[in-house]
Amino acid sequence: MTDEELTIDELARRTGVTVRNIRAHQSRGLLPPPVVRARTGYYGPEHIARLELIREMQAEGFNLRAIGRLIEHNADAGSEMLGFTRSVLSPFGAEEPEYLDRAGLTERFGGRWEPKLIARAEKLGLIVALGDDRYEVPSPALMRAGEEVVALGVPLDHALAVVEQINRSSQSVADAFIRLFREDVLRRVDQEGATPERWAAAAAAVERLRPLASEALLAGFQQVMTRAVEKAFGEEIAKPAAGRG
Domains and CATH numbers, the chain: 8-73 (1.10.1660.10), 98-244 (no CATH)
Cβ atoms of residues 181 and 205 within 8 Å:
yes
| pLDDT-based confidence at residue 241 (cuts at 50, 70, 90) | low
β-strand partners of 136: 99, 128
Give the residue with greater pLDDT, 74 vs 192. Answer: 192
The pLDDT of residue 230 is 86
Mean pLDDT of 206-223: 85
Mean pLDDT of 49-73: 79
Mean pLDDT of 40-47: 91
Mean pLDDT of 112-134: 87
The pLDDT of residue 94 is 67
The pLDDT of residue 178 is 83
Longest dimension (CA), the chain: 107
- Is the pLDDT assigned to residue 8 strictly greater than 90? yes
- Is the pLDDT assigned to residue 211 strictly greater than 50? yes
**How far is Cα 117 from Cα 29, in angstroms, rounded to an integer?**
54
**How far is Cα 80 from Cα 174, in angstroms, rounded to an integer?**
25
Q: Is the pTM of this model over 0.85?
A: no
Mean pLDDT of 18-42: 91
**How far is Cα 108 from Cα 125, in angstroms, rounded to an integer?**
18
The pLDDT of residue 12 is 94
**How far is Cα 32 from Cα 17, in angstroms, rounded to an integer?**
15
The pLDDT of residue 99 is 92
| pLDDT-based confidence at residue 188 (cuts at 50, 70, 90) | confident
